[in-house]
């Protein structure tokens, strides 16, 4: 069997070892240290916010964002429906109740009109959590306008969209709080890890306090609040710093893969994941949807790619269809939910940074073969 072609695997460059070695030489192996401090400065500065807290995962960052907003048991939180469960699970950690908001077809992200409809039904939610799905910026100006109109804080999940822009402004800079992820499959990785970001210095300082077991400043161990073991290690931060040097390079390659696919499939009954003219995705994942009644299914393509040892996956299953959330409300405005259609007819194509042109052409040939061309 040919060498496996991954969906999106880590790509190391060597500079990572420089920062790791420095951590070893200074014996800063445990959480905190120079790499953590510098990584926070580098990422927050790049995104354009004043403060960042490096944590063990994007999920941990979302949990602390939810906690800072003050979500309590029974509080309503409006959440993107088409996403990975890590976006919405932290609401449950604090006892909140998710209300899922359908997607719109132009970006696959939260629909501003459906969000406004949700406010009609639930006038006093505690927060709105939006996602920039697969690295494509949401209609963030419209969503933020709705949130501001109703005086409700926006939490921005930019886990998949580091480096993506809308109107030349980085995603992750629009929310009262925002998060990015450095998981192994992301545009850059620290093997794991994430970061909480905000212009609100008090929010970040308090989150760092919670993330280090809420230890009070006493010579003994004193705790007045429940805390968490969420801080990023100096080794992990070193990997992230080395990866960050190659972020723009990674985006360029991902963009090339996306547009190569788009051109190659232009005569097929499919559409690549869309984005608006005012946005610049980071093209983290190249996805497609099949036209209805085209005679083929996403499973047909996933199976064909599997036969050449290439990894492809279904689109995220919408949250309102997840068994764990069957009791949650779902707000949509179309006859058929947009997120359902994307899930039913969509898939994620291999877009690994290390793919060769021959491998990309093999994937194109295989997908076209499914349609008999």
CATH class of 247-370: alpha beta
| Angular region, 266: left φ>0, alpha ψ -120 to 50, beta rest | alpha
- Report percent pLDDT > 90 for the chain: 96
Note the pLDDT of residue 328.
98
- Note the pTM of the prediction, 2 decimals: 0.96
| Beta pairing, strands 76-80 & 97-101 | parallel
State the Cα–Cα distance between residues 215 and 306, nearest whole angstrom.
50
| Domain boundaries defined on the chain | 15-244, 247-370
pLDDT score of 251 more than 70: yes
CA angle 52–56–69, rounded 5-degree value: 55
Q: What is the pLDDT of residue 167?
A: 94
Residue 232 has pLDDT above 80, yes or no: yes
Closest to 153 measured CA to CA, from 203, 84, 104: 203
Residue 1 binned pLDDT confidence (cut-offs 50, 70, 90): low
Rounded Cα distance, 161 and 142, in Å: 18
What's the pLDDT band for 77 if we cut at 50, 70, 90?
A: very high
Q: How confident is the model at residue 110 (pLDDT cuts 50, 70, 90)?
A: very high
**Distance from C-alpha of 302 to C-alpha of 325, rounded to nearest angstrom:** 27
pLDDT tens figures, 78-87: 999 999 999 9
Q: C-alpha distances in angstroms, 190 versus 6, 98, 132, 180, 233?
A: 18, 30, 20, 12, 10
Average pLDDT over the chain, rounded to whole? 96
Fold of the 15-244 domain: 3.40.640
How much of the chain exceeds pLDDT 70, in percent? 99
Q: Kindly state the average pLDDT of the residues 50-71.
A: 98
Q: Do domains 15-244 and 247-370 have the same CATH topology?
A: no
pLDDT at 154: 98
Give the residue-averaged pLDDT of 119-135: 98
> Rounded distance, CA 48 to CA 234, Å?
23
pLDDT tens digits, 32-43: 889 999 999 999
Q: What is the pLDDT of residue 29?
A: 72
What CA–CA distance (Å, rounded) separates 331 from 362?
A: 41
Distances (CA, A) of 282 to 133, 252, 347: 11, 8, 18
Partners of residue 169 on adjacent β-strands? 166
């Amino acid at each position: 069997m040919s060498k496996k072609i991954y969906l999106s695997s880590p790509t190391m460059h060597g500079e990572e070892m420089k920062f790791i070695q420095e951590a070893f030489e200074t014996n800063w192996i445990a959480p905190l240290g120079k790499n953590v401090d510098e990584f926070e400065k580098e990422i927050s500065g790049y995104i354009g916010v004043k403060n960042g807290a490096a944590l063990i995962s994007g999920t941990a960052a979302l949990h602390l964002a939810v906690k800072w907003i003050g979500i309590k048991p029974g509080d309503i939180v409006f959440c993107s429906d088409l996403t990975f469960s890590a976006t919405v699970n932290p609401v449950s950690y604090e006892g909140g109740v998710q209300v899922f908001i359908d997607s719109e077809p132009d970006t696959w992200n939260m629909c501003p009109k459906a969000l406004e409809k949700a406010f009609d039904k639930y006038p006093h939610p505690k927060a709105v959590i939006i996602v920039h799905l697969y690295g494509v910026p949401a209609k963030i100006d419209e969503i933020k306008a709705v949130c501001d109109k109703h005086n409700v804080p926006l939490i921005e999940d930019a886990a998949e969209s580091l480096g993506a822009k809308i109107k030349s402004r980085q995603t992750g800079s629009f929310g009262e709080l925002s998060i990015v992820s450095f998981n192994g499959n992301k545009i850059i990785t620290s093997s794991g890890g994430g970061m909480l970001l905000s212009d609100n210095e008090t929010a970040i300082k308090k989150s760092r306090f919670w993330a280090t077991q809420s230890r009070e400043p006493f010579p003994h161990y004193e705790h007045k609040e429940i805390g968490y073991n969420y801080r990023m290690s100096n080794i992990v931060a070193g990997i992230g710093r080395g990866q960050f040097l190659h972020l723009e390079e990674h985006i360029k390659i991902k963009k090339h893969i996306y547009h190569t696919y788009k051109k190659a499939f232009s005569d097929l009954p499919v559409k690549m994941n869309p984005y608006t003219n005012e946005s610049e995705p980071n093209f983290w994942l190249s996805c497609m949807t099949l036209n209805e009644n085209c005679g083929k299914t996403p499973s047909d393509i996933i199976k064909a790619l599997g036969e050449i040892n290439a990894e492809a996956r279904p689109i995220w299953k919408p949250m309102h269809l997840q068994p764990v959330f069957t009791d949650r409300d779902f707000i949509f405005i179309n006859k058929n939910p947009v997120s359902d259609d994307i899930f039913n007819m969509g898939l994620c194509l291999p877009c690994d940074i290390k793919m060769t042109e021959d491998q990309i052409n093999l994937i194109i040939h295989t997908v076209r073969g499914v349609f008999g061309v």
